[in-house]
Each structure stands twice: as structure tokens, then as C-alpha cells.
Structure 1
């Protein structure tokens, strides 16, 4: 007897599982807050080098900063008109600033407060020579997700899903609130790095906990439900940021509600599957009996169930597999490397688009709202395409995302609405593709190394997240470089998907031999 057969007896998605998914989905809203808040807290408003100009000149100066090429040095090195200078029109003032550009900025910068009252960039002058610190800070945060996936993944296998979720939520809330009071940029980055590690702790183990309690027929639907709540967080953040224009207050507003999850200590169940796998059968059976009663399907022979599952685990333990088995044989190696690349490119482009919405030229709050709304149909459409073909669905949505990213480079800045629409289409494609890669990965990897495969895929995804902000540093060389790379990387992923097997309506492979065929080889190239 396997655990899916136990779930079939007690109800694979009954009242017990539905309540569990409420507890799993609620934190997803806060996860979206933490993942995307830097769009607003790290924004760089229009700015010019500060000097002793009068208030009558300030508006003119900021208009010039908007007219000037963002890649130019005018806003960084040229002081504005002096207090005693005569009244100048826009062209005369621009000529004066240009002539003084070589003087360097000695007095710091003056920032427009039309959109933001304060941001990390305005408080610590993360512009011009220090502009790269903003993107580096974002990459360090994403690196936290990578470290968290490795550390908390191992801890969850040792101590269980529930305690790691609880610890992750506690650390996330504490350090998130702490970031709102950071005395300098470097402390802020360290605190955000710790928050990043906890994102992986919560999102991975909540997904696993839900999966381990859900019957196979409902896992795809249940997984999409959690994605919807991340999308809700995406949308809600746009409203919060619009109402709260001070970055410290916004950081506090998205972090403090995490303290409400203290009641999870009493309501969040453990994983019975994990308990049985770790020889804690009595505790597991108590949970299974509770779930069965709540679902209206009380068990009869629970001792027989417990013994049958233990016998299965002993049989499976006879042959150990490691991550090396992912690349040891030809077909498995090809499938693994392609899946790892798909994880990498999906997350890189997803966050590359999500964290840099100010580049598309429209109102930042409206763009955030639109990008959040796009999440809903993008995730919903996969429910209808996946059952027809995993391969074609993955390839098609990647192609849509890649082509849309490439097309944005041909749209002039004046047509910001068209650029935003294209970026929205790209976001639609990559969001749908990201939803699919979770399910596709679980079906491509055989049972004996499935957990290893998904774990490595998750690590590659976090590497993509780390690289996403770094790619935007290329804007100093070419404004279109980031979108060109996002488009080309995504189209390459679409092409590589053709080399993967179709898994829709097929039996899942259990062993590496199932993947390789009758005579798998242990080396060579595929």
C-alpha cells in the first residue's frame, strides 16, 4: 500500500485538505509582498544634482531630468541653476547644465517627491556612482532564496515540513519588520537577505505539505490555487504602495501582519507521509484518523494500513539514489539539463519583468496592478491546456513570452502604452510557463529521483532570480540589452522543450530504467 491509496480511503481532497489549503494559501499573499516590494521601496525618482537654486527653479530642474537621456550623466554631475542666476527657459537651463557637467556633483542629489515621498534610493543616495548598489542589493536578496532553498530544504527533510514553515514565518516577520528600521543600506540588505531565505522555507514546504496530503487527482488544481493567492498579493501590493508612499512605513505594513500567523502553532498539521517515512507511525495514524473523520470517511483497519506502508518504505529503501543519477545516463541527463534550464529561465524572466516595471514608461502603480491581474488568466489557462499536452503548452507559452520581450525593443519611449501591453503579454506567457514547469518536472523525473530533480530545479530557479537584477546593469551599455537577453533565453527554452517527452495522460516513470528504455547506458552523450 502506498500513501496515495491511504488518501483514496480517507478522501484525497475533503474538508481536512481544504482547510489545510486555507492555511497554506494565506502566507502566499505576504510572500508576494516581500518578493515584489522592492519595485516601490527601491524605486529611483527623477533627480538632479543639488545646488542652491530657489524653489522657482526646482520644477524646471526635474522636468529637465525627465527630458534628459536616463543613461546620460546630466542628473549625476551637473549642478542646477544657482540662486542668483537669471530666469531661464528649458533650453537655456539645459545648455547651462550641460556646460557644467564636468564639474561633478558635490552637494548630493535632489529627488522629485511627486510619486514617492521616500525610497531606499532617495534616503541613501543610490543613484549615479552608487546606482548599481540597488541592483546588487536585489541580487543579494535573491541569493537568500537560493541559500534558503538549500538549507531549509535539508532541514525540512530532517525535522518535518510544519516546524520549518513556522520557523520561516517567525524569522520572516521579525527580520521584515527589522528592515523597516534599518540604520543604513548595508544593514537593510542583510535583513532582506534573511527574509529571502525564509521565502524559500515557507513557499517550498507549504507546497510540499499540501502535496503530501492531497490525492493525485487534485494536485494540479490545488497547486494552482496557491498560485492564485500569490497573484492576489501582487495586486494588493499595488494598492498598499499607492496609499503608503514612504518606504519604511510600506516595509512595516507588509511585514507586521506576519505576527498574526502565530495561531498556526495550533492549527497547522504535520505531514503524515513524512511522519511514516521517519518511523513515527503512531503520530501519523492519529493524524490520518483525524483527517478521515473530518472528511466523513472513518478508517477501519488502520493497523493494516500502517504496516502496509512501512513494508513499502522498507522495500524502497533497498536501493538508494543520489543527484548523480540525474545525469548518469543519456536520456536522463538530457531531460534533467533541459528541465534545469527551464526552471532557470522561467524565474529569471518572471522576476526580470516583475521587478523592473518602471522601465515600461507608464504609471508604476497601474503597471503593477495590470501585471498582477495578468497572473490570474495566465494560471487559469494552464488548467485547460495541460491535459492536452504538457510539451506543447510549455513550448507555446515560452515562445509567447520570448517574442513579446523581443518586440518591446522596437517600440519608442513615446509609445509607453504599447510597450506595457507587450510586456504584459510577455508576463502572461512566462507566468503560465512557470506554472507548467512545476507539474512537468514532477512527471519527467522518475519516482526514485523525483525529489532530487525538483530540488535541483528549484536551485537553478533561484540562480535565475539572482541573475535577473544583475542583467539590468547592462542598461548602462544598451537600454534594450535586458529585454533582448530575456527574449532570446526564453525562445531557447521553447526550442529545448521539443526534446522533452510528452507526459500528459501517461504513466509516470518509477525508475531510471523506465526513462532510458530496455538497455540504459551509464555514460556517453545523448
Structure 2
């Protein structure tokens, strides 16, 4: 065992993978994680959808002067509908056409017409909370641990949504929206990180996409209809509060990431976590094995920076280039996704139906990733998706300007499928490329870049006024550039996760731009197996 662990002293994460294999890398403890993580993902999807459910704006019209039973107008209207010389341009009472009887926060508060700026302020505060919170929560996850920050994020999300019930003034509403926005996205990327850090490399794709394929899809698609069954936004928020019972269960049964503990040089806690995993999995391991493992970890980390941060990542040439490429990819992808929604902006369709349509392709996209990604590798799949997106943009620019509604919806669903395919495969790729010591901060910054499209997207879409297909051309060029940049990234198929910045800097140094997972021999697992024998 000492020989096996000591051969790869320059690559700490191989030692962790090997040690986790001894403790049981797909046994009871991992199965518990794979049971609880999808449930956390499902609840996170429900919490995330609560934002749009809360702010649903139904069809409305002015009720001043209208007789009971009067027919509503074809479109929403802020002005009185009757005609006489004394009518006012402002309205004091509104009627609503609630979709299947559902009453939203907006319709209850009458935040429409001259009051709609209140909703815009709430949206801006929520977005500000998301942008700040992703970085802060990612930093805390790297400093304090994955599990406690994930639990904190879940608790704050639940209470932030629940307290909205009492936010009947603009100030309180903005405060509670900021609190929810601050932690909402960390629910997603922290659980991804935890799964990847606890599973051996060959299981990353399957475990992540089962968790995010079926359960994220289930949460996103079902939430609008659960809300309709409940009838009001208040009942929905109260139902969300019930999910608080999951938090202590998760905290008790899921130990801290061993890879994170090693990256922070918390060797005593790492041994405690490993012994706990081994005990749950029914494995008996001699104490000398743990001691030899820690000695090798200390040797490999003797030159590693003690408390690195995201700024330190930018001081490493190779890793900096890798990270900037991933940031670029996540900047371009949201523009493409928003363009798809822009295509169907004029459709008179319920926001609940649209919400389900946008979430429906998550499941098939995750199934495709499971089938394809471990066969051809991360880099090849990422490039293939980009070329398919360029082809889709070309076809859409040709056909969609005069397309019928049915064809337009077909293009919309196919496009959202590609969007989900690219996002989920890219997110796994980014997690595997970024070292453990700064993974939370780096993923938080990536989520921030993904959110910034809300601010910038209108400038690209407005170019259609000068030339109808200009948005598609701009995005096509950027997407092709992104596909080419993927050639500069290392392949991570069956590669161990880098632990320190030094590990991340060396990742892929033995590869060329034309190295792909489908053409590269899978040497690491076989080497470890032969050594163990």
C-alpha cells in the first residue's frame, strides 16, 4: 500500500481517489449521498422557480366604471375602458384573469401599471443578491467547507422565501428578495462540487446527470403546476417551508469532502472523515494506511500555497488561460439561450406552460451527456455541441423570420435542448478543471458571468433593428470562436481532480491541442489497478 500511495506523490488527488477506493468509493456512504443530493436538487429547483411563480403577471384591466359581468379586453390595459368626458387616465381598481385561478404576489399587491417599477426594483435587488452571493458563498465554501455552507444556503433560501409572506412593503420585499438571491445559486453549484469530490472520476458524469437530469427536470417542470393546485403564492411559500426537515438529515449523514479537507491541509479532520466513510461502508483499514496516506499528502503539498484564493488563480499562466476560456464559454451561452426566448416573445402563452417547456429538455440533454460524454471525452463533446449550435443558428436565421408558430416552437424546444446540453456538460468540465482549493470561488464567478447576460443581452438583440439576422451572426461567430478555444483545454476524462493551484497548472501539460478523450488511452485507472494487484 505504501508503494501504491507513494508513487504519485506529485498528484495528491490520485492518493485521495485511491484512499477513497479503500474506504469504499461506491458503497453505502456514496449511495446515501446519491439519495440525498437529488432530493436537495429537487428542493432547490422548487425554490428557484418560486421567484418566477411569485412575480407572475396575469392579464389585467381597469375595473373602474365596469359593470359586473362585462367582457374583458383582448389585451392588458391600465386605463379605464369606458368612454365619457370625465374618465381619468389612472385607475384605482383592477380585475385579473388568473390562470386556472392562481393568485400571484403581483396581482395581490397590484404592482402593475404605475406601480410596476416596484417589481422592477425587486428584480434588480434579487439580481444584485445573486451576483454578490455567488462569489461570497463560493469563497466561504472554500474556506469553511462544502457541507456547512450548503446547509446554510438551504436554510437561508427557505427562510428568505417564507419571509416574503410578510414583505408587504417595497422595502421588506426587496430585503427578502436580496436574501434569497444571495444564496439561491449556491444551492446548485455546491451540491455539484460535493458529488464530484466524493465520486471517483469514472462516476462523475453518471452521478451528476442523474442528480441534475431527472430531479432538476422534475422540480422545474412540476413546480408551476403544484403552485396552481395550491391556488395562491402564500400557500406555495408555506409548503416550501416544510422542506426544512431535509437540512438536518443531510448535515448528519453527509460528511465533509475529503478532497477539500486535504486541500486545506486539515489532515486530522480528513482522517476522521475517511474513518467514518470506511465504518459506514463496512471496511476495515489499518491505522498505518491512514498515516502513510497523510505523510504522502504532506510531501506533495509542501510547496502549495496555504490559503489560495481566486486572485491567486490568475497568477498561474496555464490555469489562468483555462479559466478565462471557461468564463468566455459561459458568457456566450446565455446569449444564445436568451435569443431562443426572444424568438417566442410575441406568443400568447401562459407563463406556467412556458416554464415547463423551457425545463422539459433538461432530462433528454442529461441522458445524452451520460451516453456520449464518457465515450468521446469532455473536450470533444463541448466542441460538437458548439458546432451544432452554430448550425442551429444558421438554420434559424434562414427559416424563423417567416416561420409558422408550430415550426417556431419546434425550433425553440430543440434550441433549449442544445442550451441545456452545453450548460450541464460545461459545468462538469469546469468543476474537473478547477483545483479543489478555489473551486467554490471559481464556480461562483462562473455563475456570475452566466447571470450578467440579463444586463447585456438587450444590446445584441437590438442589433436586429439594423439587420434582421445580425444577432444570430454575432452569436455564431462567438460560438465558433468558443469551439476553437476548447482545443486549448486539457482533457479531464478519467483524470483525477487537481487539488492545489500547482496541480491545476500541471494538468494537461502532457497533452496536445489535438488530444481528445476518445483518442487518449485511459492510463490512470489501469495503472492504479495493476499496482494494487
Q: Does 1:79 align with 2:80?
A: yes
How far 1:428 moved relative to its partner?
0.6
Provide the residue aligned with 1:196 in structure 2.
Answer: 181
How far 1:398 moved relative to its partner?
4.1
2:46 to 33, 45, 49: 33
Q: Does 1:424 align with 2:437?
A: no
CA distances 1:410-454 after superposition (whole Å, capped 9, x unpaired): 758995443333221121111110111123224555x5xx65477
Cα 1:481–1:131 change in 2 (3 A) is farther
- Judge which range, 39-48 or 271-280, deviates more: 271-280
CA distances 1:310-332 after superposition (whole Å, capped 9, x unpaired): 42454242698664565557765
Provide the residue aligned with 1:382 in structure 2.
Answer: 369
Cα 1:514–1:181 change in 2 (3 A) is closer
1:272 to 258, 277, 283: 258
1:341 to 328, 352, 375: 328
Q: For 1:262, what is the secondary structure of its paired residue?
A: helix
Q: For 2:185, what is the secondary structure of its paired residue?
A: helix
How far 1:231 moved relative to its partner?
1.7
CA distances 1:278-298 after superposition (whole Å, capped 9, x unpaired): 454444323312322433432
* C-alpha distance in 2 between matches for 1:235 and 1:482: 33
How far 1:62 moved relative to its partner?
2.5
Give ranges in structure 1 of 5+ residues lacking alignment: 67-74, 86-98, 519-526
Q: Which has the higher contact order (CA 8 A, sep 6+)?
A: 2
Provide the residue aligned with 2:516 in structure 1.
Answer: none
* C-alpha distance in 1 between matches for 2:346 and 2:437: 38
Cα 1:303–1:474 change in 2 (3 A) is closer
Provide the residue aligned with 1:397 in structure 2.
Answer: 385
Residue 138 of structure 2 contacts residue 442 of structure 2 at CA under 8 Å; is this kept in 1?
A: no
* C-alpha distance in 2 between matches for 1:43 and 1:426: 24
Q: For 1:62, what is the secondary structure of its paired residue?
A: coil
Count of matched residue positions in the alignment of Structure 1 and Structure 2: 487
* C-alpha distance in 2 between matches for 1:206 and 1:344: 22
2:144 to 153, 159, 166: 159
Provide the residue aligned with 1:289 in structure 2.
Answer: 275
Provide the residue aligned with 1:230 in structure 2.
Answer: 216
How far 1:233 moved relative to its partner?
0.8
Matches within 5 A, 1:203-242: 203-228=188-213, 229-242=215-228
- Judge which range, 207-216 or 110-119, deviates more: 110-119
Provide the residue aligned with 1:521 in structure 2.
Answer: none
How far 1:375 moved relative to its partner?
0.6
Residue 144 of structure 1 contacts residue 193 of structure 1 at CA under 8 Å; is this kept in 2?
A: yes
* C-alpha distance in 2 between matches for 1:499 and 1:49: 54
Q: Does 1:433 align with 2:422?
A: yes
Cα 1:514–1:237 change in 2 (3 A) is closer
Cα 1:491–1:138 change in 2 (3 A) is farther
Cα 1:279–1:505 change in 2 (3 A) is closer
Matches within 5 A, 1:482-521: 488-489=474-475, 492-501=478-487, 503=491, 505=493, 510=503, 512=505
Q: TM-score, normalised by structure 1?
A: 0.78
Matches within 5 A, 1:425-464: 425-444=414-433, 447=435, 451-452=437-438, 455-464=441-450
* C-alpha distance in 1 between matches for 2:455 and 2:230: 24
Root mean square deviation of aligned Cα: 4.1
